[in-house]
Amino acid sequence: MDSLINESFLECVPNFSEGADSATLDAITAAIESHAGSWLLDHSADPDHGRSVYTLAGYPGRVMAAVEAAAEAAIEHVDLRAHAGHHPHIGAVDVIPFVPLGDTTMEQCVAGARTFAARLAERFELPVYLYREAAQRPDRRQLADVRRPGFEGLAEWMVSPAGEPDFGPTRPHPTAGATVVGARPFLIAWNIQLSSTDVAVARRIAGRIRERGGGLPAVQALGIELASQGCVQLSMNILDHQRTPIWRVWDEAERLAAAESVSLLDSELIGLVPAKALVDVADHIGSGSFHTAEQRLHEAAAHLRIRRFDPSMVLEVRLEEARRGE
């Protein structure tokens, strides 16, 4: 796989359907960290979502090898028949998006994603679907469309022409379900906690803020109950932060929450955020141009009430730290 994209960089943000079991999460982490030339930049796990998200970047072949090893660990440890969590999913290795960085083109990323998907399907006898830029069918560009049946409805869906996988068997893996692999631009996964315990409130706000509900372009949103935190959450993906800046999402969420007589408590990043997304927030709130770059990042994070913000949450900062061996 190293020859696919040569010396350019690649990011991958694999999502696994496990958010609580430390043995499983440790096995996935160890698998990723065992590959030189690929750096684990961030990872988070959420027991309410039943999900963990890893961010790694590096040389394309090394990144793909690390993700394949992580997939092996997840398939060995995760049994979806006993899964608990609110987040939509169809697989133990639920989604593997590849993101071009540096000189890597989207065309190269698509080619690599398709080759990786075919290998994953063959090695693990796993149904694999392609999405976003790697999709080979127009009805599979959106992840939500591929994941709509859920793990429980996967077997029935797969016997129909609409559910035939791009690679692998036409039946779910008994414990690991199926996997979605794709290529896409940088995505910001971002959650906002609301001052309510009523999940219906979060779902109404999510329905109004997401693009499919007539809301903001390039925004996906779900309303989720966080039993462990005693509140509800807007769980969001910002698919194109240059089209819809993150500050605009915050402002709209605040307006919609006020209409429901609730407030925004705080927010959290799942994975990393590109520097420009926070710089745009700083510009929006009038952060002084005489401030240092790090000060502007902190001011943007304070405006968005990002939990435990640190500059290492910024992609460019974290990748440079990793390459220096920090």
179-183 and 128-132 strand pairing: parallel
**Positive/negative CA dihedral, 116, 122, 123, 125:** positive
Active-site residue, selected from the candidate residues 83, 87, 89, 298: 87
**CA–CA gap between residue 300 and residue 316 (Å, rounded):** 16
Axis crossing angle, helix 246-259 with helix 275-284, rounded to the nearest 10: 60
Question: Which parts of 175-266 fold into alpha helices (H)?
Answer: 199-209, 246-259
Q: Which long-range CB contacts under 8 A does 307-312 form with residues at least 24 apart?
A: 307/266, 307/267, 307/268
Q: Could you give the count of Cα atoms lying within 13 Å of 167 in the half-sphere of its Cβ? A: 25
Find the length of the chain: 326
Q: Containing H/E element for 181?
A: strand 179-183
Task: Mark whether 87 is an active-site residue.
Answer: yes
Nearest one of 130, 98, 108 to 117, comparing CA atoms:
130
Type of residue found at 244: T
38-46 and 51-58 strand pairing: antiparallel
Nearest one of 9, 27, 10 to 18, comparing CA atoms:
27
Cα separation values, 93 from 5, 121, 244, Å: 24, 12, 29
Cα separation values, 56 from 97, 99, 109, 177, 321, Å: 11, 10, 15, 24, 13
Q: What residues are labeled active site?
A: 87
